[in-house]
Amino acid sequence: MADEINRYGSAHETLRSEDDPLLTGQGKYTDDIDLPGQAWVAFVRSPVAHARVLELNTAAAARMPGVIAVFTGADLAADGIGAIPPAVSFTGRGGKPMFEAPIPVLAHGQVRYVGESLAIIVAETAAQAIDAAEAVTPELEELPAVCDVERASAPGAPLVWPEAPDNVSLDWEDGDAAAVAAAFAQAKHIAQVRLLDTRLAPSPIEPRAALGAWDSASGRYTLIACTQGVAIVRKLLAESVFKVPLQTIRVLTHDVGGGFGMKVQTYAEYAALLYAARRVGRPVKWCATRLESFLGDTHARDGVLEGELALDAGGRFLALRVRNRMALGAYVSTFAAIISTNNTKNCLSSVYRIPAIHIGVKAMFTHTVPLGPYRGAGRPEAIYLLERLIDAAARQTGVDRVALRRRNLIPPSAMPYQTPNSPLYDSGEFEAVLDKALALADWNGFAARRDATARAGKLRGIGLCCFLEVAGGAPLQEVADLRFEADGKVVLRTGAQAIGQGHLTTFPPIIARQLGIPVSAVRLVQGDSDEVPVGVPTVASRSMMMAGGATVQACQEAIDKGRRIASHLFETSQADIDFADGRFRVSGTDREIPLLELAARARTDRQLPREFSGGLDTVTTFQSPQMSFPNGCHVCEVEIDPDTGVVAVVGYTAVDDVGSILQQAIVEGQIHGGIAQGLGQVLGEQIVYGEGGQLLTASFMDYMIPRADDLPSLRIGHHVVPCINNPLGVKGAGESGVAGSLPSAICAILDALAPRGITDLDLPATPWHVWSALNAK
């Protein structure tokens, strides 16, 4: 296995190429950028969750010092500015299409959540813009609001959209309902759970920021923003908002301080900035405050998960039935449609043999911030539901929870394994992963640790989660543009966008190894829609699987081109040309030419036949036959103070199979981050809206995110089974930490509470929730 880790990369190299410039203040984040002659922008935001907009009194604001212009939704409507539609939509039961509810650039006529933008102020300074925004007094006719799935589902609930009866945007199903019903009819045991999936704020360390500019001479817009991929942002702005050709808009992304899925959205503020820049004839800049991040960034999770698991008398899984409801918010964001549908559905079989699966999903509108992807994006929900069902089944049947899982694991001999929910698993050794995790966590020594904790007057619990998630996203293709340029550098242009996960550390070594050249001879270009090929943004743990796969394919195609050119130069057959160590050589002779020298000659030698005029430059599209399937087993151990309800995570073990590991420090950093975010949802993270739709958790004083001292030292292990669906053998590491930590942590808490008769607890397990449960019993 160690050989597989090092086969394609640098698993034991611990330094990241990005770290030195970022840690020494040489990074280039959006807020570090200023353009000559720029003005500043502030937004007027709705103070209520649902209202008719009767009038926006902007006259006083327009007269304030430094104010250049004020624009409202009426101005944009008059200029034909469109709304921002979702990039993905689904068809529901009976062929009924999803009601898409595109996001307006500025609200016009009605507002549907607290924080929705009503107007944009352009001023000479940021302070002047903010002061003027506060002087705008909207006249609103407040209407009833509904802010959670349960209330949105109730008969007679206020409607977010009249076009969406019962607040349902999409009523969707997948699977064989008849087969599931038949299996349940024969079942000896049926486990049931109903779980709350709390709404979260992604909270990257860098708030959103953007600059908009208009060049009247060229008739082009330029947007500089911290995105997760410039192509999708340009596409939606050009085609739907401004209704102009793609080349009319250039989108630039520099360093990004975290995204977690939230920064993939084409935000209304970006469109408003471009509109304002054109209208005032100057560049404009905006940087969100943390309050604006809570009010305007896409939120995450937020739903009610219901499931039933059927088992036979021997504890074998027969069927799984799932009924989920998800709160979309007031509008449908770029990828919201896929989160609770395909993403959840594709993970429901996980690492287990479950012969029949059926899922039904209702995506509901609420008067809240639009929902978007966040680390896992529907995958952790599937694993959370399934693992809670298995623990419930273990209690019901009296079978040990580890033994029940082991009994139903898919064996390696079953690979490739066709699941009933559509994915075709190419590889996996799930029982070996389970055994490694149990050993690393000292599962068998837990009883002694529990006894010691009890003597100290506390409760101790241990939980585990076996999981498999899908990575790669759709479409399963990616373009790589590899060029051999005049300065002697090999330049990779990719639509994949670094957002903190270390592309500069991982991509150049791949090219260097494939081509046999120094890493210093490789340059990476990303984040410029004028330069990079159109591709899928950085989502779904796909960068190395898809963009990395395309990179390897481009290198191989470039070598093939070089072999043809070398055969011409050496006047021999292509079959006689070998390539090794960065050199083309005539087999059995000392006649050779280095790859970079051949590339330079192909670029400058006018005597070469026209068929070689492109040199080694290569643009290729990699197509993966299937998604990849990172999997693992995580074990969490907690200690609870029954007097206060405080939960302490005192042990955590993760064993993951992410396929071939190219850079171990990066992989483990990704796993660490995912674990922290999963534990955050368990221990306290929760967006809370009041009855009238006011956001009650709009700062880090009210919204808990885990700190370093909330986590123990993490024990990380690896079990490498290379993926066969891409040339690097990778499976994706960005989101598996969440998939493992959310279920294992809550299962550990319930294990600690079980001696007190508590078998269920909604997220989050705050001291108040835990103390209340203990005292209710």
pLDDT digits (tens, 9 = 90+) for 181-201: 999 999 999 999 999 999 999
pLDDT tens, 397-452? 999 999 999 999 999 999 999 999 999 999 999 999 999 999 999 999 999 999 99
CA distances from 559 to 111, 478, 611 (A): 57, 20, 15
Spell out the residues 6+ positions from residue 76 whose beta carbon is closer than 8 angstroms to its own. Answer: 105, 106, 108, 272, 275
Entry field: residues in the chain: 777
Phi, psi of 522 (to 5 degrees): -115, 135
The pLDDT value recorded for residue 4 is 31
- Using the predicted structure, report yes or no on whether residue 642 has a pLDDT greater than 70: yes
The pLDDT value recorded for residue 207 is 97
pLDDT band at 2 (very low <50, low <70, confident <90, very high): very low
> Can you tell me the distance from the alpha carbon of 195 to that of 209, in angstroms, rounded to the nearest whole number?
36
What is the percent of the chain where pLDDT is above 70? Answer: 98
- Using the predicted structure, report yes or no on whether residue 136 has a pLDDT greater than 60: yes
The pLDDT value recorded for residue 475 is 84
pLDDT tens, 32-55? 999 999 999 999 999 999 999 999
Q: Which of 3-17, 26-40, 527-541, 569-583 has the lowest mean pLDDT?
A: 3-17
The pLDDT value recorded for residue 697 is 98
Mean pLDDT of 330-343: 97
- Using the predicted structure, report yes or no on whether residue 7 has a pLDDT greater than 70: no
- Using the predicted structure, report yes or no on whether residue 482 has a pLDDT greater than 70: yes
Q: Is the dihedral of CA 745, 748, 752, 753 positive or negative?
A: positive
Spell out the residues 6+ positions from residue 73 whose beta carbon is closer than 8 angstroms to its own. Answer: 53, 104, 105, 106, 107, 108, 109, 118, 119
> Can you tell me the distance from the alpha carbon of 349 to that of 591, in angstroms, rounded to the nearest whole number?
56
* Look-up of token digits 């860098």: 206
Spell out the residues 6+ positions from residue 249 whose beta carbon is closer than 8 angstroms to its own. Answer: 220, 221, 222, 223, 234, 237, 238, 242, 274, 529
Spell out the residues 6+ positions from residue 507 whose beta carbon is closer than 8 angstroms to its own. Answer: 492, 494, 522, 524, 547, 548, 551
Where does residue 336 rank: exposed (0-12), middle (13-18), buried (19+ CB within 10 A)?
buried
> Can you tell me the distance from the alpha carbon of 704 to that of 710, in angstroms, rounded to the nearest whole number?
11
Q: Is the dihedral of CA 45, 46, 52, 54 positive or negative?
A: negative
Phi, psi of 221 (to 5 degrees): -95, 150
Where does residue 452 rank: exposed (0-12), middle (13-18), buried (19+ CB within 10 A)?
exposed
The pLDDT value recorded for residue 607 is 84
> Can you tell me the distance from the alpha carbon of 512 to that of 442, in angstroms, rounded to the nearest whole number?
41
Answer yes or no: are the C-beta atoms of 545 and 628 closer than 8 Å. yes
- Using the predicted structure, report yes or no on whether residue 23 has a pLDDT greater than 90: no
> Can you tell me the distance from the alpha carbon of 645 to that of 42, in angstroms, rounded to the nearest whole number?
43
Number of Cβ within 10 Å of residue 83's Cβ equals 18
Average pLDDT, rounded, for the chain = 95
Answer yes or no: are the C-beta atoms of 718 and 614 closer than 8 Å. no
Number of Cβ within 10 Å of residue 281's Cβ equals 11
Amino acid, single-letter form, for residue 198: T
The pLDDT value recorded for residue 11 is 41
Mean pLDDT of 115-122: 98
DSSP 268: H
Token duo for residue 772: 């209340």
Q: What are the start-end ranges of the H helices in 222-267?
A: 230-236
> Can you tell me the distance from the alpha carbon of 329 to that of 49, in angstroms, rounded to the nearest whole number?
11
Strands 356-365 and 317-329: parallel
**Greatest CA separation found in the chain?**
88
Number of Cβ within 10 Å of residue 506's Cβ equals 27
Which residue, 170, 162, 159, is CA-closest to 366? Answer: 159
pLDDT tens, 578-629? 999 999 999 999 999 999 999 999 998 888 998 898 999 999 999 999 999 9
- Core vs surface per residue 190-229: b (16+ CB within 10 A) or e: bbebebbbbbbbbbbebbbbbbbbbeeeeeebbbbbbbbb
- Using the predicted structure, report yes or no on whether residue 471 has a pLDDT greater than 70: yes
Q: Following CA atoms 472, 474, 476, 481 in sequence, which dihedral angle do they give, to the nearest 10 degrees?
A: -90
pLDDT band at 9 (very low <50, low <70, confident <90, very high): very low
Q: Apex CA 396: angle with CA 392 and CA 397, to 5°?
A: 120
pLDDT band at 18 (very low <50, low <70, confident <90, very high): confident
pLDDT band at 777 (very low <50, low <70, confident <90, very high): low
pLDDT tens, 268-324? 999 999 999 999 999 999 999 999 999 999 999 999 999 999 999 999 999 999 999
- Core vs surface per residue 729-759: b (16+ CB within 10 A) or e: bbbbbbbbbbbbbbbbbbbbbbbbbeeeebe
Answer yes or no: are the C-beta atoms of 495 and 526 closer than 8 Å. yes
> Can you tell me the distance from the alpha carbon of 143 to that of 146, in angstroms, rounded to the nearest whole number?
10
> Can you tell me the distance from the alpha carbon of 642 to that of 753, in angstroms, rounded to the nearest whole number?
9
* Look-up of token digits 């006249």: 139
The pLDDT value recorded for residue 10 is 39
DSSP 563: H
Token duo for residue 19: 């770290």
Q: Secondary structure of 58-83 in the HEC alphabet?
A: CHHHHCCCCEEEEEEHHHHHHCCCCC
- Using the predicted structure, report yes or no on whether residue 13 has a pLDDT greater than 80: no
- Using the predicted structure, report yes or no on whether residue 6 has a pLDDT greater than 60: no
Answer yes or no: are the C-beta atoms of 370 and 332 closer than 8 Å. yes
Phi, psi of 545 (to 5 degrees): -65, -50
Answer yes or no: are the C-beta atoms of 540 and 40 closer than 8 Å. no
Amino acid, single-letter form, for residue 489: K
Q: Secondary structure of 122-151 in the HEC alphabet?
A: EECCHHHHHHHHHHCEEEEEECCCCCCHHH
Which residue, 531, 544, 529, 527, is CA-closest to 483? Answer: 531
Which residue, 589, 568, 511, is CA-closest to 578? Answer: 589
Q: Secondary structure of 740-772 in the HEC alphabet?
A: HHHHHHHHHHHHHHHHHCCCCCCCCCCHHHHHH
Token duo for residue 407: 């009994």
Number of Cβ within 10 Å of residue 613's Cβ equals 11
DSSP 242: I
DSSP characters for 7-71?
Answer: SSS-TT----TTHHHHHTT---BGGG---TT-EEEEEEE-SSSSEEEEEEE-HHHHTSTTEEEEE
What residues pair up with 319 in beta bridges, in sequence order?
A: 310, 356
Spell out the residues 6+ positions from residue 601 whose beta carbon is closer than 8 angstroms to its own. Answer: 569, 593, 608
Q: Is the dihedral of CA 542, 543, 547, 548 positive or negative?
A: negative
pLDDT tens, 144-174? 999 999 999 999 999 999 999 999 999 999 9
pLDDT band at 21 (very low <50, low <70, confident <90, very high): confident
Answer yes or no: are the C-beta atoms of 240 and 83 closer than 8 Å. yes
Q: Is the dihedral of CA 705, 710, 712, 713 positive or negative?
A: positive
> Cis ω on the peptide bond leading into residue 416 (within 30° of 0)?
yes
